[in-house]
Structure 1
Amino acid sequence: MKKNDLLNKWLWKWHVIAGLISAPFVTLLAITGFLYLLKADYETPKQKHITEVQIQGTPISFEKQLEIANKNAIKKPNAMVIPTQENQATEFVSGKFGGKKSLYINPYNATVSGEIIPATTLMFKIRKLHGELLLGTWGTKIVELIASWMVVLIISGLYVWWPSRRWSLKGFFIPRINQGKQILFRDLHVIFSFWISGLLLLTLAGGFPWTDVFGANFKWMQKVTNTGYPATWQGHHFRSNITGETLSLDTMVNKAKALQLKGKVSIELPKGPNGTYTVSNEFYSNLSAQKKIYFDQYSGTIIHQANWEDVGILMRGRMWVMAFHQGQFGAWNWWLMIFTAFALCTASISAIISYIKRKRKGSWSIPKVPKKFNIGYGIIGVIVLLAALFPLFGISLIFIFILEKFRKRKVTTN
């Protein structure tokens, strides 16, 4: 591959500038992402005294368990998770998303075994640190901006590093350990960065849907192209025909079990006399196995069944990359994300050390670009495309352009 030397220097300059600004944040994101991947390993043993119970005789009915949950929960439950083991406490869920709370009922002694509020846990705080730096909306936008520049760092880094002559297969795997610490850490940075570049782009794709600006634009695109969740998935317009008595929760559990859905199966309770029982499952190992089935709360007949195939292609793609981002496709995915987090952290720290070793005293040591270099239309097109795709990146470019103009005017004046 023959490279343009002037373009190479220009991209190197901006790679260094962007890296200096984002490297500390990238390191933090890598560390917090790694820690959050350990969520299940950390929380499962700590919550075991709540989620697991001793088997003692015959369990009481789910209907009676719901009555106990209604009396003890701060907010009445809106759903129940069907237990899959005999020693498992029954989980009754109140609220959604960040306001979710789970009350656990011991079905053998009819007592509350405990309550889990995700928003009060250490892992929730780590997730908030990872997604918004504990700074709320402003923090989310900072993370989005850094993530946008990470895409630029990956693209520019691949071009700058890619050898144009004297290829050495060893250089893709082994850092040079006998040419000084600066070269060693520089090689650690580029080797780890190269091998995770594709994984990192895929991981970033899984993080962007949570952001404010890109995420909102993506949702808008889903809406105008009708490629999100169909209206039938939410089921707001489905109604039960009021006739007789409401089916017991135990009857609905039996109906839900008969469906043989994979993964974590929940029953959403009816909201009012016209509401429906809604059975759904979470099964990230195979997203296509997820379903949502609406039952008449009186007759128990199926009003509607929504399958994963009914979901629009953009939403399906979005859910896939988000699940991949969190390592939810099984052990292979989890270990891959662990490796990505470790490699990204190593690449970021080694880049910082390499820069410090190379930096001259009294100078930022930013690579210089000859004045005769002009950006080609191809590069301008790529920049415009990235700015349109990642608006915060585009805004930051405008800000940098204005600062650069002021700097040049100041130099000219002096």
Structure 2
Amino acid sequence: MVTTDQVTPSTDRQTPNLHFAKFYRAAWRWHFYAGLYVIPFFIMLATTGMLMMWIAFIDGRDGERTQVTPQEAPLAVSIQAQAALEAIPSGNLVQYVAPRADDLAAIFRIDRDGEAMMVVLDPYTAKVLDSFPRRSGLYDLLDNIHGSLLLGVTGDRMIEIAASLGMILIATGLFMWWPRAGAGPSKSALRPNLAAGGRSLWKSLHSVVGFWSAAMLVIFLISGLSWAGVWGEKMVQAWSSFPAQKWGAPLSDVTHASMNEGPKEVPWVLEQTPMPASGSLAGKDGIAAGVPVTLDSIDALARAIGFEARYQLNLPKGDTGVWTMSRDSMNTDSVNPMSDRTVHIDQYSGKILADVKFADYGWMGKAMAVGIAFHMGTVGLPIILLNSVFCLSIVFLCISGVVMWLKRRPAGQKGLVPPPAPRDMPLWKGAVVLALVLGAAFPMAGLAMIFALAIDFCVISPLVRRKRATI
């Protein structure tokens, strides 16, 4: 049988088809190598992500959905805080999380001896309902696996490589899905061919599910990569941070990232932005002159300037620290990311030093606020259902990819058996330029491609040549 690589075109009409076949083989080979690394990571990310969405929706995090019996009015926040402090002797009050509804508990974070504890109490009676170490539930275990494989920076880099290679998977997969050179997709390419059998059926299902999942996968990968240590923090987030100079207040030597203390909690666009500092004459009118700056007066100010239902209040840290009120859809404070808001209050004067709303974000900050809320499924049940279907689709793509590889591999043959490399690749310079562009845009993918090329050139190709020579 004559292979595509052995055909010598006799007419100009055959040349584009030959070129397309060679490009197809090259795309298929890269798709194979990228998938080889990506598959276990994508299964993990899809599974843990889906579980986290449903846990947050059904049970919440840190006791936020604990039920209470509503009464005429809640007690002052300071009285509630005192009860929380008594539950954790010798502790320091760090954060207050207001209930999102009248029948839900209030939450206080108390730190003691370097350990953060969460105290859940009835806001009407100040009765302590529960206490536990912060971020110690199943959701948080899944979150740590999802973000770093429990390996810290090493795990973050491994997942970033997988996400970066995911962009290559999408590009090569869509190229292979496209029916033929110069023609648009037909209806048959948009739905699986269930009449096919064997590997053809798996290929049809894989390509169609991959096509319909591609757009959402791009959204998920970009929003995830924007939190990653290299592409996000070093390349994108730094130039997208909010310009703190707009506040006109002195800046401290710490950034908003100092408020994370574990999982990402601060809005993406603010994470690398310096915090304002207390102790100057700067700021707009906040707490009225003569009124002491206390937990109760700060809470009253929050309600007066528009923080309704659930919001988070962080207490000042150190002599220049500020009170920080925030509503962030990423933290399930709201189902509307466009209502995100962060306000900093001078701990001495009670003046408003900064008031950052969604409308103040740059275009990248707005895109990330919406994208992260969509990614995490914190914007309501319909999105959770949509994301769940997407996660299951990703798991299917991974499994079907493995099945196709096993069905393609000759019986009894061991090893990877990658798709054959095309010979006399046409327009190879353009392919190299494209690879360089992708490698520069996603550095971790670039490193992975260089490693894959080295392994292919030094190990796999010589083995294939030796095996052919013995046939």
- For normalisation by structure 1, the TM-score amounts to 0.85
Shift of 1:45: 10
Q: Which residue of 1 aligns with 2:103?
A: 87
Residue 238 (str. 1) matches residue 294 (str. 2): no
> Residues 101 and 309 of structure 2 are in contact (CA less than 8 Å); yes or no, is this contact kept in structure 1?
no
1:136 corresponding residue in structure 2? 152
Task: Give secondary structure in 2 for the equivalent of 1:212.
Answer: coil
Residues 291 and 306 in structure 1, CA contact (< 8 A), matched pair in contact too:
yes
Q: Distance in 1 between matches of 2:127 and 2:373?
A: 35
Aligned to 2:215: 198
* Pair 1:119-2:159 in alignment: no
Aligned residues: 406
Q: What is the CA distance between 1:296 and its match in structure 2?
A: 4.6
Cα distance, 1:409 vs structure 2: 6.3
Counterparts of 1:174 and 1:410, CA distance in 2: 36
CA deviations 1:107-165 (Å, max 9, x no partner) are 34433211244532112111222222233322222211111111111100110121016
* Structure-2 residue corresponding to 1:180: 197
Q: Residues 142 and 335 of structure 1: is their aligned pair in 2 closer, same or farther, counting only changes over 3 Å?
A: same
**Bigger mean CA deviation after superposition, 15-24 or 188-197:** 15-24
Distance across 1 between alignment mates of 2:191 and 2:230: 38
Q: CA–CA distance in 2 between the matches of 1:263 and 1:356?
A: 54
The aligned amino acid for 1:53 is V
State the secondary structure of the residue aligned to 2:142.
helix
Stretch deviating more after TM superposition (356-365 or 165-174): 165-174
Cα distance in structure 2, aligned partners of 1:305 and 1:265: 14
Q: Cα deviations across residues 242-280 of structure 1 (Å, max 9, x unaligned)? A: 997733433332222122235632233244576543322
Match runs of 1:269-288 below 5 Å: 269-271=315-317, 275-283=321-329, 285-288=335-338
> 1:110 maps to what in 2?
126
Distance 2:318 2:420 in 1: 69
Does residue 189 (structure 1) correspond to residue 235 (structure 2)? The answer is no
Q: Can you give the 5+ residue segments of structure 1 that lack an aligned partner in the other structure?
A: none
Are residues 1:341 and 2:391 paired? yes
Contact kept in structure 2, 1:118 and 1:124, CA below 8 Å = no
Task: Answer whether contact 1:15 1:157 (CA < 8 A) is retained.
Answer: yes
On the 8 A contact 2:278/2:347 being kept in 1, the answer is: no
The structure-2 alpha-carbon separation of the partners of 1:255 and 1:180, relative to structure 1 and needing over 3 Å to count, comes to same
Secondary structure of the residue that 2:194 maps to in structure 1? coil
Shift of 1:344: 1.0
1:373-408, Cα deviation, whole Å (9 max, x unpaired): 255232222211111122222112222233333235
**Contact 2:119/2:130 (8 A) holds in 1:** yes
Q: Greater shift after overlay, 284-293 or 114-123?
A: 284-293
CA distance in 2, matches of 1:313, 1:101: 37
In structure 1, the partner of 2:359 is 309
State yes or no: 1:260 paired with 2:311: no
SS of equivalent residue, structure 2 residue 59: helix
For 2:225, the equivalent position in structure 1 comes to 208
Aligned to 2:265: none
Instruction: Select 2:424's aligned residue among 350, 372, 375.
Output: 372
Cα 1:128–1:172 shift into 2, 3 Å: same
Contact 1:209 1:215 in 2 (8 A): yes
Deviation at 1:100, TM superposition (A): 5.8
Distance of 2:61 and 2:174 partners within structure 1? 43
Q: Tell which has more relative contact order, 1 or 2 (C-alpha 8 A, sep 6+).
A: 1
Secondary structure of 1:78's aligned partner: strand
Tell me which protein shows more helix as a share of its residues.
Answer: 1
Equivalent AA in structure 1 for residue 279 of structure 2: R
* Offset of residue 59 of structure 1: 4.5
TM-score normalised to structure 2 length: 0.75
Determine helix, strand or coil for the equivalent of 1:210.
coil
> 276-285 vs 9-18, which deviates more?
276-285
Shift of 1:75: 4.1
User: CA separation in 2, counterparts of 1:46 and 1:137?
Assistant: 25
Aligned with residue 387 of structure 1, among 439, 445, 456: 439
**Structure-2 separation of matches of 1:281 and 1:412:** 61
Alpha carbons of structure 1 residues 84 and 124: separation in structure 2 relative to 1, 3 Å: closer
Extract unaligned runs of 5+ from structure 2: 1-15, 248-269, 282-286
Code of the residue aligned with 2:42 in structure 1: it is: V
Cα contact 1:90–1:107 (8 A) shared by 2:
yes
Shift of 1:84: 4.2
Distance 1:320 1:65, change over 3 A: same
CA RMSD of aligned residues (A): 3.3
